[in-house]
Amino acid sequence: MSRVKLNLIAAACKKNMGIGVNGALPWRLKKEMAYFTTMTTKVSDPAKVNAVIMGRKTWDSIPDKYRPLSDRVNIVLTHHVDALKDKVPEGVVVVSGLDGAIEYIETRPDIESTWVIGGSAIYEAAMAHPNCGKIYLTEIQNTYDCDTFFPNIDRQQFHLADEDEIPGERQLEGDISYYFRVYKKL
């Protein structure tokens, strides 16, 4: 069994599980984005770093000034590895699938945690993968028109868990309320 545990992190509308529209987030939530950054960058060992795994469309949706995501090993999954390898900055890893990403991470003892950050197909593959550990889902209480969705969470496989450092109470930013949830794979 691989030492690599996959943590998924996403924000989705609670009603329709929407996560995006036209290659962008349908909301602007500074505190929620700070939570994403903190969760995907914090390490217990200062000599280590975390990895973020994303699909090519998610990579493309990150504004140029934030690409690659700083202080993290960026791994992009695509069916067209050779075409993308020449287009990404040095240090960004391009592989053909989730198993390739896990194999790469296993060669890097300096990677502490692994975060899957989208999109839909990558989340779905990660949730079905035996290395899947937890889903960190921000459940946005408002409803937005979306064209990209988070996969349904199978409550037979994942149960709601409490974590000390994750606030359980309702968050409010402007007129948008949301909850930070953690689902642990059984």
Q: Is 8 a catalytic residue?
A: no
Catalytic residue, candidates 6, 8, 29, 32: 32
pLDDT for residue 39:
98
- pLDDT above 70 covers a percentage of the chain that reads 99
**Where would I find the beta strands (DSSP E) of 21-157?**
49-55, 72-77, 93-95, 111-116, 132-140, 148-149
Q: Looking at the predicted structure, is the pLDDT value of residue 33 above 90?
A: yes
Angstrom distance (rounded) from CA 16 to CA 82: 36
- Spell out the residues 6+ positions from residue 180 whose beta carbon is closer than 8 angstroms to its own: 35, 136, 138, 166, 167, 168, 171
- Rounded to two decimals, the pTM is 0.97
pLDDT in tens, 74-110: 999 999 999 999 999 999 999 999 999 999 999 999 9
Which listed residue (25, 112, 124, 173) is catalytic? 25
- pLDDT, residue 2, reads 81
Other C-beta atoms closer than 10 Å to the C-beta of 13 total 21
Q: How confident is the model at residue 1 (pLDDT cuts 50, 70, 90)?
A: low
Q: Taking Cα atoms as reference points, which of 134, 108, 111 lies closest to residue 123?
A: 134
CA-to-CA separations, 44 to 10, 39, 40, 49, 112, in angstroms, rounded: 22, 12, 12, 9, 8
- Once rounded to an integer, what is the mean pLDDT over residues 122-127? 98
Domains defined along the chain, listed by start: 6-178 (3.40.430.10)
Task: For residues 114-122, give the mean pLDDT.
Answer: 97
What are the two backbone dihedrals, phi and then psi, of residue 14, each rounded to the nearest 5 degrees? -60, -40
Q: What contacts 165, CB < 8 A, 6 or more positions away? A: none
Annotated catalytic residue 32: yes
pLDDT at position 3 is 87
Long-range contacts of 158-165 (CB under 8 A, 24+ apart): 158/127, 158/183, 158/184, 158/185, 158/186, 159/183, 159/184, 159/186, 161/134
Mean confidence (pLDDT) of the chain: 96
The whole-number pLDDT of residue 84 equals: 95
Calpha distance 86→92 (Å, rounded)? 10
